[in-house]
Amino acid sequence: MADLFPGVRKRLPKGRQFALTWGIRDDFGGMTSAMLHRSRALVRLGRRPVDVLTFDARPDYPSLAHRLREDGELTAGMRLFNLYDWFREHPSPPRPDGTPVPGEFAFTPLGSGPVHESGLREGTVMHRTRRAADGTVLQTDHYREDGSLLLSDRRDTHTEGRLGGRSVVLCDTAGRPVRAWGAIWPFYRLWLDLVRDGEPSFLVVDSKPVARFMLTYRRRRAVTLHVVHNSHLDGEGRQSGRIKESRRPVFEQLGRFDAVVLLTPRQKADVEAMLGPSPNLCTVPNSRNVVPPRRPRPERPPGRGVVIASLTRRKRVGHAVRAVAAASARAGGGITLDVYGSGAERRALRKLVDRLEVRDRVRLLGHRPDARDQLAEASFVLLTGSTEGLPLVLIEAMAAGCLPVAYDVPYGPADVITHGRNGFLVEQGNVAELTEAVVRLAGLPAKEIARMRGQARRTAKRYSDAAVTRQWAREMRRARQRHRAAFEAAAPAAPVPQGTSVAAST
């Protein structure tokens, strides 16, 4: 079979590819979707296998991986590894010097009584948790499938029952301690060392919790890249000038990554204005598999709209419901909205639909794997989130000729949408202006709507998998160059202290 994308493969630097995220929920959202899609593109176009690494204690990863493969989220060339499952399947390495675990580390495994919460995998206990009266986690013990103790993680070693002091003890298959630390991150670093096995590697970090840990992971043959999937700003406007507290620990040390990937040029410019220029800052957008329709579709009803989003306060789906309700009343009908997604705001949205008496025009359809297929049938998509990175649904919609009507928030929509040409930008939070845009779009002549749909499709081509994979290849090469230069400039490595992994030098 002919190579449809010659040159992509040879431009990808050699090395193992890893994608790191904290965990994968059943109803995962944009960040996880973007991470999985990027990984599939690297496998398909770059022909490099990608291992997805997760750090949470979800007990049912084998069944989750099966579902992800059935849904096409995991494809051939991709593997999903979880921290605890990996150690369940591999022997726990002893201390490098062969000495026993020092007695200073508390080791008090939990019993099997009903006072502890249990995480089950098809009836088998995979972890038990002890909590304080207020719900604070004080200890979690993890087990192998045969019931042997894998790891005991206690967080109240100073005073029992009160958070403070930590003891993380890794055990062999007989439940005997073989390694111990006073924090969890050394355990994470050990895992990455073992998974990489000293090979040249590119580790792309997607989630904020993992990014904080990865600030501490520096290895000669491991290039680290952090993708910032959403706004770094505390507030809805670009002029707030304040970094979100949840991002501050990472943004104050961005130089510790070999590359920091922003999704849009505007966000990169704002980060540089706030923190100063840095050679490791770069821009690579999210991509989509942009495939033109094989045959022309019948013209869709101009008033049919969709929302595809998690039903959370940040997404402000209620704004979309109010706008469509008002637009439909002004137009005398013919404007409808289908909402795809699940989340904590579903009940409130149902009450809003009932209060506005628009059940015949607004449908809440829940989470559906085929929701994005509806973009080819809908006339417009509403994006009402308070902050964004570069919404995947925005590119998907435009590729399908579904016109975006979006709040002008940091960041994403204004980097892609040219107002009135391939979609509409609306002052963020302004439901009246959102309503006006919907009314305007639904009332456009068919020829004008067709022209805009064509422009939207042409815009989406800039975000094709082939184009964006080439950008990833370029930035990975540059990151590797910076990484090598940093290690060459560093002082000669000191002898490896006792108790650390010999693999730390690789």
What DSSP string runs through 453-488? HHHHHHHHGGGBHHHHHHHHHHHHHHHHHHHHHHHH
- Asked whether the bond before 411 is cis by omega within 30 degrees of 0, the reply is yes
**How far apart, in whole angstroms, are the C-alpha atoms of residue 399 and residue 382?**
15
- Answer yes or no: is pLDDT of 10 > 60: no
Decide if pLDDT at 234 tops 80. no
Q: Cα–Cα distance between 123 and 113 in angstroms, integer?
A: 16
Mean pLDDT in the chain? Answer: 90
The pLDDT of residue 392 is: 83
- Tell me which of 489 and 145 has the higher pLDDT: 145
Instruction: State the pLDDT confidence band at 319, using cuts at 50, 70 and 90.
Output: very high
What confidence tier does 30 reach under pLDDT thresholds 50, 70, 90? confident
Q: Give residue 237's pLDDT band: very low, low, confident or very high (50, 70, 90).
A: low
**Which positions ≥6 away from 154 have C-beta within 8 Å?**
106, 108, 138, 139, 166, 167, 168
Check whether 506 has a pLDDT greater than 80: no
pLDDT at residue 143 tops 60: yes
Kindly tell me the sign of the dihedral angle through the C-alpha atoms of 154, 159, 160, 161. Answer: negative
Instruction: Please tell me the predicted confidence (pLDDT) of residue 89.
Output: 97
Over residues 350-407, the pLDDT tens digits come to 999 999 999 999 999 998 888 889 999 999 999 998 877 778 899 999 999 999 999 9
Q: What's the pLDDT at 297?
A: 62
For residue 137, pLDDT over 90 is answered with: yes
Query: What pLDDT does 300 receive?
Result: 87
Residues 6+ apart with CB under 8 A from 97: 498, 499
Instruction: Report residue 498's pLDDT band, with 50, 70 and 90 as the boundaries.
Output: very low
Q: From CA 259, how far away is CA 329, in angstroms rounded? A: 50
Strand 16-21 relative to strand 50-54, pairing: parallel
pLDDT in tens, 264-312: 999 999 999 889 999 999 999 999 886 665 555 667 899 999 999 989 9
Which residues are CB-neighbours of 261 under 8 A, at least 6 positions away? Answer: 225, 226, 227, 228, 282, 283, 284, 475
How do residues 420-464 score in pLDDT, each as one tens digit?
A: 999 999 999 999 999 999 999 999 999 999 999 999 999 999 999
Split at pLDDT 50, 70, 90, the class of 230 is: confident
Neighbouring residues of 406: CB distance < 8 A, sequence distance ≥ 6: 382, 383, 384, 394, 412, 413, 417, 423, 424, 425, 426
Per-residue pLDDT reduced to its tens digit, 328-346: 999 988 999 999 999 999 9
pTM equals 0.86
Q: How confident is the model at residue 244 (pLDDT cuts 50, 70, 90)?
A: confident
51, 191 contact by CB (below 8 A): no
- The separation between CA 459 and the C-alpha centre of its own chain, rounded to angstroms, equals 24
Residue with tokens 């958070």: 163
Matching residue, tokens 């590359």: 259
- Residue 344 CA to residue 314 CA, distance in Å, equals 11
Convert the pLDDT of each residue in 57-68 to its tens digit: 999 999 999 999
| Cα separation, 182 vs 167, whole angstroms | 5
pLDDT at 84: 98
